[in-house]
Amino acid sequence: MLQSLLVKDYMIGDHLAFSPSTNLLRAVHKLLEHGLSGAPVVDENNRLIGFISEKDCLKAALDASYFRREEGSVQDFMSKDVVSVAADSSLIEAIQIFVSKNFRCLPVVEGSRLVGQISRQDILRGLEKLRAARR
């Protein structure tokens, strides 16, 4: 059953993404405003180049307290080794990543271009709807 379900059918296409030059405090505000635990970072061609998470933001706060640094930009603190999932991947592939890693959401890509995000909650909501529809 799950093998036939695709990431693109459960992802959020209207997603929050940051440019590398976004002010870190502005990014934190946007994450809180949207209720997200993180967001992709893209270049001017919408290619995925990083991910900024709550954890990255906390590291930045700690760094600022130790070194009395002013805030930086997203590129100063983002993770560059980003795990993503292809839009046409099966939902099982996304679930396997979520089970094996401590991520709450994943960028969804077509090639190297960002097309959306999928979260653990998106998958669970989708599975709940699927179960309800089969009753």
The pLDDT score that the predictor gives to residue 2 is: 64
**Whether residue 53 has pLDDT greater than 90:** yes
Confidence (pLDDT) at 67: 61
CB 106 within 8 A of CB 85: yes
Tokens representing 75 are 């590129």
Residue 93 CA to residue 83 CA, distance in Å, equals 12
Q: For 83-99, what is the mean pLDDT? A: 95
Amino acid letter, 47: R
Token pair belonging to 28 = 């934190």
Q: What is the total count of domains within the chain?
A: 1
pLDDT of residue 135: 73
Does the pLDDT value for residue 128 go beyond 80? yes
Both tokens of 7, joined, read 């990431």
d(CA 131, CA 135): 7
Domain limits for position 93: 2-133
Higher pLDDT, 64 or 35: 35
CATH of the domain at 100: 3.10.580.10
Of residues 83, 101, 76, the one with CA closest to residue 23: 76
Reply yes or no on whether the pLDDT at 50 is more than 70: yes
pLDDT surpasses 70 at 36:
yes
**How far is the C-alpha of 65 from the C-alpha of 79, rounded, in Å?**
20
Under the banding of pLDDT at 50, 70 and 90, the label for residue 31 is very high
Q: Across residues 10-26, what is the average pLDDT?
A: 91
pTM for the model stands at 0.86
**The pLDDT value given to residue 20:** 97
Q: How does pLDDT run across 61-87, given as a tens digit for each residue?
A: 887 766 656 678 999 999 999 999 999
134 confidence band (pLDDT: 50, 70, 90): confident
Rounded to whole angstroms, how far apart are CA atoms 116 and 89?
13
Pairwise CA distance, residues 7 & 93, whole Å:
9
Distance, in Å, from the CA atom of 42 to the CA atom of 112, rounded to the nearest integer, reads 10
